[in-house]
Structure 1
Amino acid sequence: MLQVPFIRDNKAAVIAGLAKRHFDAKDLVEQVIVLDDERRALQTKLDNTLAESNAMSKEIGNLYKSGKAAQANQLKEKTSALKETSKAFGDHLNTCLEKLQNLLYQLPNVPHDSVPAGKSEEDNEEIFNEGSIPELYAGAEPHWELAKKYDIIDFELGNKIAGAGFPVYKGKGARLQRALIAYFLDKNIAAGYTEYQLPLLVNEASCYGTGQLPDKEGQMYHDAQDNLYLIPTAEVPGTNIFRDVLLNEAELPVSITGYTPCFRREAGSYGAHVRGLNRLHQFDKVEIIRVEHPDHSYKAFDGMIEHVKGILRELKLPFRILRLCGGDTGFPAAMTYDFEVFSTAQDRWLEISSVSNFETYQANRLKLRFKNSAGKNELAHTLNGSSLALPRVLAGILENYQTEKGIEIPEILVPYTGFSIID
């Protein structure tokens, strides 16, 4: 959430920055400033009324001590009126604060200066490309056909049990899935991340804390009876560990990782581009999350990108990195890089990771602060990334490693799977 002083001091820059997202913020920004003016005036009136009431209470005490009970009683009547006035100001102030909060929830993060303007994924910038696209044998197939051929993923059975987008992994398919999870976690732990096992359901405050609400309302699975949400990513429970937390500067950075299933409604997702593992309602993902000092967050951001690069290099998958344009950058992010693996059989790129720096946007919602060297409380920066999302990584392995004899397993995964080929 953007901070009101930042909006007031940088009004034109905020409006121009959000225009990169094709988000017209002018009216909302004006409303925020007007409401904040009202809040300030009410706070001043409330403070003055309370100060007058406190001074009068002291005077009443002195009058009673001096034997001037009649004068004291007259003042008591005035203090009662002041208390009613204070209550009215307080109620009005709380209403004003609630309205202001709701307005701020509607404003996305201001993109970093280096984020290009653009409307959609067509305007994203490729900044890195590595790996050779393999030449497959004649008759190579997309992963949904390979899954059926080798009986490792059953999409129809998942559809029977739950519906489209809930595949069932079987035999070597299930073992390969488990191997990827273990490998990703081991790589993250070796890089200094502490593993957490996190809840799969979160409360409404957690969704507001990381920016899923109100932006993603209707896109998450919601249990109305208990008002709990199935997580769309481990980012939500992982980052909310630090909600309402005050850290010492010496505790930074904090680095955590965790594996969770993830759940997304993905309403309106149809067509050939979402076949098989390309888009699911339930999928597995290993996440990395960092809480950083603002002065160091972009260096940490670069380190996270290099970390994901290292994993893809070990898997020997052709990949590229995109810097997302304003229109394709997520609501709470200041900057995001997407990693994509090339699917040779589908002849297209598949997104397998997003790495984002949220700067203070989530921390302000979460009230996540640290005590700096001057002894003052300061908002931290939060970052997160997929390390990695499994479905499209698995699709990339199945398609790029297929041979006429079967699907070979990347060498780095063989100690985890216990086999070197699916045949």
Structure 2
Amino acid sequence: MIRSFTQNDALPIIANDRVGCVVWPVLTMPKPNPIDQFKANLVVSLEAGTFMRLVLSRPTRGDDAPEKVLARLVNLKGMPHLSLTYRHPTRDVTKNIPITEVGSWISEQVSGHFRSALLGTMKRDWQLHVDESGEAKLVGHKSSSNEVPSREHDQAKETILDNSARDWLRGLDVVDGDGKVRASMADKHSQIDRYLEIFTHLAKDCAWIGRDGPPLQLADMGSGKGYLTFGLWHLFHRVWKQPMRVIGVESRQDLVKTTNDLSRKIGADGLEFMAGTIESAKLPKIDGLIALHACNTATDDAIRRGIELGAQLIVVAPCCHKEVRPQMGKPEPLASVLEHGIMAERMAEWATDGLRALFLEWAGYRTKVFEFVSSEHTPKNLMIAAIRIGEPFTSKKAREQIDQMKTFFGIKHHALDSLLSRN
């Protein structure tokens, strides 16, 4: 009788002496682990110089986790590194790791953080899928490209503010006649560009891009010189080719005239500026309301106005938090911490914006609070973005949390308290 042998069995010389034939063992080899195989393919492609790209997607958790990770090979100080861009809903974070650390890094990512990974090489593409039970599957495909990507670390960043934005950027004195960003306006240019990146994510969440139907209507409250108002118009009309009416509301008549003159000069159809305040401006029913750096309770006025006008999207960047601080007590176990002035100030800011987010949830919105503009260019600011997802003034949980938070900090009055009477 001929039998199969495993790797641990001793090898026989003769299995059947009657016929004198030698039968070598049939080895039962373990099935390759798809994750280990994907890791090996990645490491080999980096060492052989055939690596093209790597994309990780389908994150296993939400919160502030990146939606995907993009990787490319770069040279840093003469040494190969993998440059990783972590794509969050409102920002990108870039990290560089030497290729000697890639093996352990990719194992961690595909074993616990992402369920999909795509490796592109000059010879073959590999797609790894991991289901919710942890079972992995690896599929190979013909290479989608054989063009070697740039290995330069400092590449020109893709920006929404390309040459097509030169006319209004020049009119606002952000760039010179040659289209170069003025040194004194570099921070402002970065701020506009970053803001439009954030708004791109929010517009996608609202399903605005490519939407059929009447033109969307957006109001920018306290538009000032119009930097971001022109940017929003540019994003919709020139980048997305999407019909949109953008209205800038500004209390200073001279700025209203200047911005309207520039709008007419560049032929910005669908962009207009009007004199008024957050509360007094005569606006139609709108789809989105923006109010950046509205001081103190002006932010609350903008939130209330957006709710009243039926805005699907409300975006505010608060500043000058003055209303709540004088009312706040020093509850335990925070009493000793709040003895420090800077701690009490920060806590008042967080409590104020936290209540604003809860009031928006009470009004039927899904909220997200995040940092606006990286600290390399401007001071850190919080931004509150809210998208309407349900019936207003029905969330018992949000209402209870508002009451609990006000009671805990001893806050007797908030500028949005009038919303509590609506149900």
Relative to total residues, which structure has the larger helix share, 1 or 2? 1
Give the number of the structure whose alpha-carbon radius of gyration is greater.
2
The structure with higher relative contact order (CA 8 Å, sep 6+) is: 1
Q: TM-score, normalised by structure 1?
A: 0.25
